[in-house]
A = this chain, B = another copy of it.
């Protein structure tokens, strides 16, 4: 989930799950798990897309977009996702903040080829 593109989300309203994290010095297995989570979330009902970036300072932001709050709960309750979260907290992250937000307005720009 550390590379990607701008998500092609529909017209608002929809939901954003903003996950900001700081990776600790030891994070064996983190990138493999993140890639697996990116595959898995894309199959979750109501998923609309996600974006992710992590800089050299180890601060990363992933924003996943969902149709509604039920879709967020379904993803939260996925057993493999829950196991990955538990490992993140126990092993990988020095800290994180998760914010659930309702997207009210959006606009974008794509440069013509």
Contacts and interface: CB of A to CB of B under 8 A. Distances in A.
Contacts of A54: 53, 55
Chain copies in complex:
2
Interface in A39-66: 51-57, 59-61, 63
B63 A18 contact: yes
A88 to B, nearest CB: 9
B105 A100 contact: yes
A93 B49 CA distance: 21
Nearest to A99: B106
Interface residues of A, number: 45
A103 B55 CA distance: 24
A35 interface: no
Contact of A103 (B52, B89, B101): B101
A97 B108 contact: yes
Interface string A52-85: 1111110111010000000000000000000000
Interface of A: 2-7, 9, 12, 16, 18, 20-22, 24, 51-57, 59-61, 63, 89, 93-111
